[in-house]
Amino acid sequence: AAQLPVLPWSEVTFLAPVTWPDKVVCVGMNYVDHCKEQNVPVPKEPIIFSKFASSIVGPYDEVVLPPQSQEVDWEVELAVVIGKKGKHIKATDAMAHVAGFTVAHDVSARDWLTRRNGKQWLLGKTFDTFCPLGPALVTKDSVADPHNLKICCRVNGEVVQSSNTNQMVFKTEDLIAWVSQFVTFYPGDVILTGTPPGVGVFRKPPVFLKKGDEVQCEIEELGVIINKVV
């Protein structure tokens, strides 16, 4: 068989595995241990918000600190990519609508989330470059159990978040069933399934990202995305 062509890494730019989806659906407070960290009860229903697709960047792209925020924070998340259109999907059928999984960094401007924009979270979540995705779309057949994966975030090499997707309150199937009561899912739609504890805003004192920081978001079996803050 012919040898496949090999390109030097330096000549390649990795894009996000999904660009321009119809929807980037996000879930708030979806890790039991992240709820404890905030001293809030575990939600009885998923809390759904969104980012615009225009915030998506590649796995090794830069995250641009906007001058309007002094409180930009990290959040590693398991992202689910939809592969098949559906509405009113039952939890038992939900995995048939999943193409695969990837790593997301749900970059968050805390000042805009909690104190501005009438407390609607959208603006603080959707600055350009605030949604690095990658490094690959790992198809679901290649993932033994998406709800038993180590998930961690490192800032400048120091582990700041370290947990397991088994801490998710609402699992992939529940989230697809819930959201598809409201909206039709289309192939390419992305669901960011929430972040484990260890975010900067709840540290004492709070810690936020600054220019020059390097953030690594890693999930077992899915890989690592590395985004420099500029």
Distance CA 17, CA 138 (A): 9
Check binding of 81 to its own copies (CB under 8 A).
no
Task: Render the burial of 28-67: b for 16+ CB within 10 Å, e for the rest.
Answer: bbbbeebbeeeeeeeeeebeebebebebbbbbbbebbbee
**Contacts (CB under 8 A) with its own copies, residues 168-227:** 181-184, 186
Interface pick for its own copies out of 1, 11, 20, 158 (rule CB under 8 A) = 20
Interface pick for its own copies out of 122, 136, 201, 224 (rule CB under 8 A) = 122
Torsion, CA 132, CA 135, CA 141, CA 146, rounded to 10: -50
Check binding of 39 to its own copies (CB under 8 A).
no
Check binding of 28 to its own copies (CB under 8 A).
yes
Nearer to its own copies, 74 or 185 (CB): 185
Q: Which amino acid is at 226?
A: I
Q: Count interface residues toward its own copies (CB under 8 A).
A: 34
206, 200 in Cβ contact below 8 A? yes
Interface pick for its own copies out of 60, 121, 170, 208 (rule CB under 8 A) = 121
Q: What does the DSSP 8-state code read for residue 34? A: H
H or E stretch at 114: helix 110-114
Check binding of 119 to its own copies (CB under 8 A).
yes
Task: Tell me which residues touch its own copies (CB under 8 A).
Answer: 20, 22-23, 28-29, 43, 45, 47-50, 52-55, 66, 68, 87, 116-123, 126-128, 181-184, 186
